[in-house]
Amino acid sequence: MTIRRARRAVQILTLGMIVLIPILNRAEITFLSGTFYSLAIGPVWITDPIIGFQTMLTSLRIDKALLLSMVIPLAAAAVLGRVFCSWMCPQNTLSEWVDHLADRLSSKRMFTFRTPRHVRTAVTAAVVLAAPLAGFPLASLLSAPGIISAQTARLIKEGAVGAEVILIAVILIAELFVARRVWCSTLCPVGGFLALFRFRRTMRVALVEDAQHHCGRCHACDEACQLGLAPMAGDIQPVCHNCGDCIDTCARLQHGARPLVFKR
């Protein structure tokens, strides 16, 4: 099975849960509740780390439950890299789909550029610092996965969505016509914050050549990368979110001899 197939299954399951959880909640089955801002699986709480962190900054208060609920996503990011982004984030799923749509329409984007590797980190820092100045958790309005899940829940519960969804529409239109996958690769503060928790042993894509595995310099992996990175050249952090598309492509062309692997 290719990595992509497993990933698609998880992505579809995630989209399903985004719809199912509010429906179950409405029927007063509340074992699972919440959104990608903050999710409750029974007694286990999971909060988006940037949302939790900026809230502590703006409120000048450390809520123990909030801090504790950030542990699971941070641990996952530290061990597996940003698999949340590539395997679960509904914005990434939508953006991937829009990217395929752009291929079909042969949409020429207004700008093509090599993905700058540190702009997203700078955006993240700006958002986190602006939140206490604004006096409210600004990142909440910029969390695409949060907005998609919370507004779906709101649609199911209240029959209406808020202006927050405009951001999602803007992202998708921009990615279709202005610059390829620009939100995830260059702007998203949620991904930017998770990327801060990457360490030496964090899972990543690596080019490992030995007697059996060698790179033919075909650059098919560059083509496969939606985020505009060059996995073969190695300069892919902190943008790469471990989607594995490059590894799949490499495996297809090189069979067992693929040099691109997930490495810890």
Partner 1 sequence: MNSKPLRPPGAIAETDFLATCIRCGKCAQICPYGSIRTAGFLDGPVMMGTPVIVPRSKPCYLCMKCPPVCPSGALRREMKRKEDVRMGIAKIDDKECLAWQGTLCRSCYDDCPLFGEAIVMDKELRPVVDEKKCVGCGICENVCPVEEPTIKVRPGGRT
What residues make contact with partner 1 under the rule CB under 8 A? 22, 25, 28, 30, 33-35, 37-38, 40, 45, 47, 51-52, 55, 58-61, 63, 65-66, 69, 134-137, 140-141, 146, 150, 153-154, 157-158, 162-164
List 45's β-bridge partners, or say none. Answer: 40
Task: Pull the structure tokens for residue 206.
Answer: 């690596």
| CA distances (Å), origin 123, targets 16, 180, 189 | 30, 18, 6
34 vs 231, which CB is nearer to partner 1? Answer: 34
> Nearer to partner 1 by C-beta: 148 or 225?
148
Cβ-contact 206, 224 below 8 angstroms: no
Identify which of residues 8 and 132 has a Cβ nearer to partner 1 in the complex: 132
**Whole-angstrom Cα distance, residue 248 to residue 251?**
5
The Cα–Cα gap between 60 and 222 comes to 44
- 123 or 141: CB nearest partner 1: 141
Cβ count near 225 (within 10 Å): 23
Task: Give the residue carrying structure tokens 């093509």.
Answer: 112
